[in-house]
Structure 1
């Protein structure tokens, strides 16, 4: 017998219990869906957990229908609901004999889940047990599960049941870190008729009539070559969606013909033709006057024919956009031009295939490009713009036009601005189709597989591509092409080396999950909605929603965590983001990347903190552990000293800290990787001198080996090869036990396609049988910044900074995948400086 049904507590208890178990089921469904070892059984578990969460989420208990003066079936239903939910949370264990009338006696597991008081040390967290029970239940007999789901459906709010049920999957979505549950907000979008109107007008007017115009021959008929600018978000103005297009001024007969480009911007109304808004009624004379004034001030004319459009495209206006408003089947030309975003060169575009094959593209640019393409793919998914093939050949980039300040520089590709080379002749129906309901194919959604193929190619390294780039496949049938693409992606997903991004494990795993979702033939079977269950069909709009949730959203969340895009999904643009590449020969210049030496002298807000940091350091030096360690090396049977290699800017031998014979003897070897062959010991920056003095203070019994890998922070950006050679020198020649690297990069910079620093670390561990430790600075600036490389390398111990009290400092990045953080004093750290810098030193 459950407690008094007249009490409002029981109704609130049922509602809260349903919500809590729904949250646990949804969270568990997400965890299980991210397991890379997916099979049919695993997918079934994920789907059932999602369905369970959906039914519990929309469970509705209306106490106003309960009459305490007569026996009411709703009270009995409520009792059965709670008993069933308690049984579910303890499955497959039998419920014990319950005593007492309190809720905690009748439903101990549900009560424990809703407990607000802090748990005592001996009390166990009930959530892991409930998760195990839910997983066991959805893995049990199918008939019993269906009966329970049918029972739960009775508690759905009848008025809003279908709507809530369809939205259930979007209610409890977690971000890629899995730290919190949050509602997946609907993305910024516009009506489908916008695509239709834009496509229709472009198809009509890009049919060139230049051969009929004076001075041009008949061979130049055809279409104006067109490129559609792809963006991470669309732009609107005056309730119109803006599209940027670049068209060839005159059609060319082949790809070797010279080409000139014209910038155009099309304004397409969000409001469908024929739908009128509310207006104030003016007298006729006033209305005509207003229209004439607006027309005269805003528009230069109306384009009604292909001849007029060709004349407009051929018009020489310089680096500016011609602006056109789509008005039915006509185009209204604005009087005012608009400045261009990309100052493109009048020459042939470069395909994504060519950029990835010939040049080193850093990870940040790869991820931003993948995000732009995924977002654009989703935006155009249910439109005729997808009828032409989307491949690494049709995604293209313009080169930047040389100006007076860059006549002799390298030709730059504007890789932050991808374009889609569209064509209006439809590709093979099988390859361009959105869904293949029949036929023998391995993947029935070719458009989604095309996106997976592009993302797969972006994730490949230059070296991986070089072996296959020369071997162009020629497919005899569309089915063969689909099978090969699917097979290539599946093999890549099984390799640990893919994706080759040079980022920490979380980012790489997220990218891998996105491509796995894209290539999954059952991607659109994951929607657990009433429409699917009752009709067995997922509409194209529902498929588009799943594409956003499973592909676009994880990429967006990842980039937001890396602070590369804002909350609205817009990229943080910088003034100088182009990828500089040479037309001839291999890529030699290093891609731009944030690099830094760890600032161990972080200034504090308090003048007291400096002296407190000195006291902290003296406590380390005077500790019993340090004293015993020093004493142990003074005995006749002293063990082999620990060897520490410091990779930095060198050191100043004239600094007071290093003048004593005792300290001079501790520096066993020196090697300059900046000035090859130089034996003179130097430090042109001071950072290495400071770091070396700290190592000597905290490790007074260690032998020190110093490698100069860069002159300063500016030189560090070009010192990747020096660092890799210094790691090998320290590990093999010096036989160092510890290698200290107080610097970091946003990401690893490859050398001719090779990740030389990662290779050096891995090879050193192998050659030394894992008997070596690598330490590196986590970052200088934290907040939203991720761990820098090499601290982000899985075989490197990342070090964060604290104050003298052990409190984490603001310049630290968020914790990594393991959640464990190693920290040491990182603020106002006293140490030696260069002799010519002056200032006081803290000495031993």
Structure 2
């Protein structure tokens, strides 16, 4: 199909038509992805959406830079996009026609849209030629690569005529330095409270550009500092205001001078008092403090509008760097470089910026949804003993000051003359290199085979930084201004006057801006001209640093999606199925501490007893008996040694002394403790969770072979440990089903990339994975790995199919499978029953060593057991096609069909309630010929 070369002139060099076509294809792919069960097609649609966004962003970037897309590139992408259309017209005409027709049907119901897509596009359920789809994505990838080569994101590599004149960036005010000094002194001046034990005062200061439009303050006088204050590592949000000097006002004759409104303020004598009071009584409020004439005053607190979740540990820049390049896009790198250089400009020669600062002192807070805004904070102790960098430099070098007559070469160590006059700027150079190369300084040195890591003196660190920079500068394009910024940082002459004397603080700040900040601003503005330097702080904090700089959901500063085009990736870029070459959408920083893991509710069980009432327990027992009647009718009489199903359960282990487990001992085929090096070590269950879950598997798949993988005790498991257990279950145990009754609230957990790889490995080998949805109700979405594309997510209901109050809200664009997870009864370890008020019945009594519990943790093994039952049924009755039921999409389709009750049965509370019984409306209440026909049709689809 020959492209119409006139497209360039008619549509602003092709971008208008291409942009419109991409939006339509993106819209259609999103619609199709929500309505398909085929796993491979879902991945195709997800990848197609990613490429639409990437190509659209390239077009926007090129346009913003003042460039016109070359005609041959416009023609090329037009032709490639038109390949998926069934029209025989030219490429341009085909895309025009698609645009016109889609606008007519996009607002209509799903059936109309599905018919339109089937008739006009060469993909969908009727057109799934796999190789053609792969070739289509490959063609988009090759075009995107060609654009990257011709129009690199680093626009400093473009020729001068490639972009328009750079917008003038106004010089910043230096009033922030004075204000920062005053705030630090005022805070430390009221720490002597006499409390026992002595408080450990700390602060986390927001690193801002402090430009007027960024802060909302008049930077020629008033400056506001956002921070968190702590007396015992228990953080309280605060805003500290600084004031202009009083201005004398003259009244005109016959007029009274204007009255100024009075603000109530209380002098702060002891800093601990307002912090402790706010934490106890006003946690939802922000402390408002003000520094006037060197003293600290407390104003009326204001309700906080922060997104920060102080119960979650922040992530340091060092941890991001250790996690690799997953979080860092070119955009986030450039923004971060500018913000950090501003921090040094504003805070240099103040106690806020110690000479020993590093990337471990730069923190990023999490939101309640575990997003991480690109909003850096500097952590520092407020003990008032830290000396500023100028004083520390003087100790090593005496600031380079001496009188010629007093200089004695024999008494001066020549190494002292090599000292850098500004150690904090050496650290800035190191951090700039770390961010640019997305690795820690020590790892960068090892990669370059440069030996570093001597003592921590300023001289050693300076020499190490200079050596590493010289070794890596060959990997930095010569014509980008980042190179100039780092070079100036490490050139000691930059920070001295003609006599070799260290510049004073005011001159230093001017030099930092001209030699470091401005070059980095220029790099950012050239690469992303639509990102305003004057509004950089607001823009940066709308980006999720942990997820490929996609937009923070529900951020008060977020722009409408249409305005963020080209700046932030849409939410679906966070999905694990997006296999974009060279692009990873998730960050996996090392968790800061164990407390944050505990907050994640790793085991998705509900502790409230309200769901385990006697009536609820009786309802569950009745529901289970109905299922067991189906199993006894269709499986028990026909099961033999040649037919079986293998299930791996990943949990806290198993009480092998439990009577129920001893009765099923022949079905426990293997055990492995992944918490110890000895693979034959005991799988003792100190928690009870694993025993309870395994008991449920035996309840619903009594003839299954069970493989026990102990991946946790009472604490959350490491994703790396889980990944090893999954891989072992797939490759060594050759299981059919894996049950996982746990979840992380985010992918931002150390080692999650390995878990993600193991899940894909299991899916590739047609192993069915079931995972708990989470118990956060409407507060959070599904947990990970239940949210992964290759895992079956399991929600919870009561015995009547009503949504459990703790089960996450149904996701409209995905299949929502649910089964009973309330008042579920199962085995409980014998050693945990002793002294337990709930139980410890007489041995032999019915229900001995059992408990009733609720949670998606327990709906999961029930669903996995039902899946095992279906596999057994297929292997007994449709042996030639039974292997197809190990495919996730086929299993989900069958579970959905089982959820239908009667003709045209739909969802309940947004869920497909999987309920197996002999009732006539249930699939297994039908004639066996009918059952086999339905299952056969699903396997053939």
TM-score range, shorter chain: 0.3 to 0.5
Q: Normalising by structure 1, report the TM-score.
A: 0.44
| Greater relative CO, 1 or 2 (CA 8 Å, sep 6+) | 2
Give me the TM-score of the superposition, normalised by structure 2. 0.41
